[in-house]
């Protein structure tokens, strides 16, 4: 049996879809379904049970979970703009600590979602190294404490913490402002033919902020590989290639142009509420994954954006 927390979310739902594609259905999903539109992410998947996140921990020590072999812990408060520290720490850090301790006691394979946000502004690079870590929001801080807890325990061999970079792809329609820029650009263009690029900020010209964009299917491949080969540690999960927002819109313009659809860009002032807690540049160092034996072959940015736009174009409105 496999447990997937955050199973209706972007990465969790795609893990479940791939498990199903591999012929595996003995899955318990844990999540918070306050936002019921997340059900569209799993409405065609096969699972054996669902538990609300608030009920899951209280049942961990029961016989119900005696046959669990692996847990993909993708659930968290992922809003980088959330400043209620008590809420974030309870949902992210304390919750994850309980799962870590339980997994160690039972020698269960655990893959936890961490985040590239632990590197803050990235002045010292994006290496899995304490000298590079400087979180600038509560979400990032909670993820750094998660990783430091694993370090304190000596990095148990049955536990992997994956620092996802800028993930996009099918299954993020429910994320609101936390959805990828590719998703937001698509919604904007579909609405009025124009997408909005942030203006000059942090030494970057308009549209030149760069991110390490990675398709969710690549993230799933990494997670399932870590489960299969029981590789423990803290790993960056990105493509090791930073692309500007302008480059992203160039690729999107090709897709829209091929369909004869309008695509324009406009520059808007950089949002005041993001100043001080915004990463203008990310780029994953993948030496840890490579040393562990993962091939680190990821979908090219053009192919991944085209594939995602094809998906968005083909899905129902209520699932977007």
The CATH number linked to 127 is 3.40.50.720
| 87 is annotated as an active-site residue | no
DSSP code, position 279: -
Q: How many domains does the chain have?
A: 1
Share the mean pLDDT of the chain: 94
pLDDT of 250-259, one tens digit each? 999 999 999 9
| 139 is annotated as an active-site residue | yes
Residue 111's H or E segment, with its range, is strand 109-115
Among 50, 53, 149, 175, which one carries the catalytic annotation? 175
C-beta neighbour count of 263 within 10 angstroms: 18
Domain assignment present for 27: yes
Q: In this predicted structure, what is the pLDDT of residue 317?
A: 46
Query: Residue ranges of the alpha helices (H) in 89-165?
Result: 95-106, 138-152
Domain assignment present for 258: no
Domain enclosing residue 64, as ranges: 2-169+212-241+282-299
Domain assignment present for 99: yes
β-partners of residue 237 are 164
pLDDT of 5-32, one tens digit each? 999 999 999 999 999 999 999 999 999 9
Domain assignment present for 72: yes
Domain assignment present for 189: no
Contact 212/242 with Cβ under 8 angstroms?
A: yes
- Residue 162's SS3 state is strand
Domain assignment present for 125: yes
Domain assignment present for 197: no
Would you state the structure tokens that stand for residue 261, as one six-digit string? Answer: 């659809």
Among 139, 278, 294, 308, which one carries the catalytic annotation? 139
């Amino acid at each position: 049996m496999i447990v997937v927390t955050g199973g209706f979310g972007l990465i969790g739902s795609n893990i479940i879809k791939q498990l199903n594609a591999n012929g595996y259905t003995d899955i318990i999903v844990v999540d918070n379904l306050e936002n019921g539109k997340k059900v569209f992410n799993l409405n065609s998947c096969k699972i054996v049970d669902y538990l609300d996140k608030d009920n899951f921990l209280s049942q961990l020590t029961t016989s119900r979970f005696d046959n669990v072999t692996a847990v993909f812990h993708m659930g968290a408060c992922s809003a980088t703009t959330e400043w209620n520290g008590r809420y974030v720490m309870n949902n992210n850090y304390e919750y994850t600590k309980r799962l870590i301790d339980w997994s160690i006691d039972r020698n269960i394979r655990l893959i936890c979602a961490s985040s590239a946000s632990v590197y803050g502004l990235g002045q010292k690079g994006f290496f899995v190294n304490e000298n590079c870590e400087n979180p600038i929001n509560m979400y990032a801080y909670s993820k750094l404490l998660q990783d430091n807890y694993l370090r304190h325990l000596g990095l148990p061999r049955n536990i992997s913490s994956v620092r996802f970079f800028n993930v996009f792809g099918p299954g993020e329609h429910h994320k609101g402002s936390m959805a990828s820029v590719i998703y937001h650009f698509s919604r904007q263009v579909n609405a009025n033919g124009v997408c909005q690029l942030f203006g000059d900020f942090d030494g970057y010209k308009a549209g030149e902020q760069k991110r390490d964009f990675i398709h969710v299917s690549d993230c799933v491949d990494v997670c399932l590989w870590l489960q299969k080969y029981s590789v423990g540690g803290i790993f960056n999960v990105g493509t090791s290639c930073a692309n500007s927002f302008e480059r992203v819109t160039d690729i999107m313009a090709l897709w829209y142009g091929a369909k004869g659809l309008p695509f324009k860009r406009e520059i808007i002032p950089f949002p005041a509420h993001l100043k001080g807690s915004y990463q203008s540049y990310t780029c994953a160092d993948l030496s840890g994954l490579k040393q562990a034996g993962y091939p680190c072959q990821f979908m090219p940015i053009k192919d991944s954006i085209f594939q995602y736009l094809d998906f968005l174009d083909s899905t129902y409105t209520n699932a977007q």
